[in-house]
Amino acid sequence: MTAARKLLRRIAPQLITLVAVILLVSLYYPDFYKVVLVNDRLVGIPIDVLKRCAPVALLAIGMTLVIATRGIDLSVGTVMAICGAAAAWSIDQGYGLWGALAIAGAAGLVCGVWNGILVAVLGIQPIVATLILMVAGRGIAQLITNGTILTFDSDAFSYLGSGTLIGVPVPTVIWILTGIAVGLLVRRTALGLLIEAIGVNLRASTLAGINSKVLLIAVYVASGLCAAMAGIIATADIRGADANNAGLWLELDAILAVVIGGNSPLGGRFSIVASLLGALIIQTINTGILLAGFPSEFNLVIKAVLVIVILVLQSPRLMLLQDPVHLPFLRKRAAPTPPAEVRK
């Protein structure tokens, strides 16, 4: 009971923001809530939002873990392009659905291990370490697709992007299931706590016996795998791999989702649910701007204003939010391991 209430208190700002954005959009577009069943698939704006936010939501799951360790993964958009290209290439080569998934997943894994080794073993700042793959990765993706948009014809594979499961779009199912799986993995075990410990103080947690190197690599691998899933969905959706544009600037949206989710960019306490709500907020704004008939150029300015407002609210110097949830450092000092929090 208290755990549920704590969670609700944690995600309350994001929920309120989401509701406010939806209300605002529905003022301009009263049909917003209408969801109908057409040809065994649910159709409506809310469903559309839930489907379109899939890549950003998946990236945000991995990014939340990375940011919780005081890191950042700039390469996720590029990894999406690499994995999408790898998937399309394997379909093209006749490896079938499972072969394509395995190869794309392996590509994401390798990218994650690469970033993880640069950060954890070689000790390079995360922003720089992942910048290397961000710059070089698009070249690698283009190498795979040979510079063209690699199209393929596989109904089984494109089902992952445009199919439905009991009326619900498959991408939606994938990101929600992934969110639940990762959420359970980090919260039902001590993993989440250990990740937070690394983010708060890497040296202290290493001295306390946490295998921070392995954990850091694992976090970047998780981000790489999430990016691989996002890349597969994006590729399956358009039935083609576009090495230039797949996942372009999505890393920024993913970071934005995490920041809107109230996770401090300085590392420490994190919430995957809140990040996912952040992804929903971003997509609702994107869709809402289109529906309301505003020119889409407002989109970036609104995002910028959102970031600035959140930064002001979260600033450790201003401390406008006195809620200790947002001040992981102070909280850790007051109560080292609150048991209720571990169980969530």
Partner 1 sequence: MNVHALPLYATILIFLLAYAICIVQFPAMLSTRVIGNLLTDNAFLGIVAVGMTVVIISGGIDLSVGSVIAFSGVFIAVLLRDTGLHPAAVFALLLVVTTAFGAAMGGMIHVLAMPPFIVTLAGMFLARGAGYMLSIDSVPIDHPAYEAMQRAYYVMPGGGRLTLLGVVMLLSVGIGMIVLHRTRFGTNTYALGGGEATARLMGVAVGRTTMMVYAFSGFMAGLAGIAFSVYTSAGYPLATVGVELNAIAAVVIGGTLLAGGSGYMFGTLIGVLTMGLIQTYIVFDGSLSSWWTKIVIGALLLLFIMLQKGLLRLRVSA
Contacting positions for partner 1 (CB under 8 A): 72, 122-125, 127-129, 131-140, 142-143, 147, 243, 249, 252, 255-256, 259, 265-266, 295, 297-305, 307-308, 311-312, 314-318
* Token pair listed for 188: 């039902």
Q: Alpha helix (H) ranges present in 45-189?
A: 45-52, 54-68, 76-92, 96-116, 126-145, 155-162, 170-187
Q: How many residues does the chain have?
A: 344
Which residues are within 8 A (CB) of 339 and not within 5 positions of it... i.e. 6 or more apart? none
Q: What are phi and psi of 287, to 5 degrees?
A: -65, -40
* Token pair listed for 332: 């850790």
Considering the complex, what minimum distance in angstroms separates the CB of residue 61 from partner 1?
A: 19
Buried b (16+ CB within 10 A) or exposed e, 283-299: bbbbbbbebeeeeeeeb
Q: Looking at beta carbons only, is 315 or 337 nearer to partner 1?
A: 315
Q: Looking at beta carbons only, is 35 or 308 nearer to partner 1?
A: 308
Q: Looking at beta carbons only, is 210 or 255 nearer to partner 1?
A: 255
Q: Looking at beta carbons only, is 134 or 234 nearer to partner 1?
A: 134
Q: Looking at beta carbons only, is 87 or 243 nearer to partner 1?
A: 243
Q: Looking at beta carbons only, is 47 or 81 nearer to partner 1?
A: 81
Q: Using CA atoms, how far apart are residues 104 and 229, in angstroms rounded to an integer?
A: 8
Cβ atoms within 10 A of the Cβ of 266, count?
Answer: 13
Considering the complex, what minimum distance in angstroms separates the CB of residue 259 from partner 1?
A: 7
Q: Looking at beta carbons only, is 101 or 133 nearer to partner 1?
A: 133
Which residues are within 8 A (CB) of 167 and not within 5 positions of it... i.e. 6 or more apart? 37, 40, 41, 42
Q: Using CA atoms, how far apart are residues 42 and 31, in angstroms rounded to an integer?
A: 15
Give yes or no for a contact between 53 and 279, defined as CB atoms under 8 angstroms apart: yes
Q: Looking at beta carbons only, is 99 or 324 nearer to partner 1?
A: 324
Element (H, E) at 300: helix 298-314
DSSP state of 149: -
Which candidate, 250, 217, 233, 177, places its Cα nearest to that of 65?
A: 217
Residue 344 CA from chain centroid, whole number: 21
Considering the complex, what minimum distance in angstroms separates the CB of residue 134 from partner 1?
A: 7
Considering the complex, what minimum distance in angstroms separates the CB of residue 46 from partner 1?
A: 26
Considering the complex, what minimum distance in angstroms separates the CB of residue 239 from partner 1?
A: 22
Single-letter residue type at 173: V
Considering the complex, what minimum distance in angstroms separates the CB of residue 1 from partner 1?
A: 35
Which candidate, 248, 281, 214, places its Cα nearest to that of 69?
A: 214
Considering the complex, what minimum distance in angstroms separates the CB of residue 266 from partner 1?
A: 7
Considering the complex, what minimum distance in angstroms separates the CB of residue 67 from partner 1?
A: 10
Considering the complex, what minimum distance in angstroms separates the CB of residue 77 from partner 1?
A: 11
Helix, strand or coil, per DSSP, at residue 302: helix
Q: Looking at beta carbons only, is 128 or 184 nearer to partner 1?
A: 128
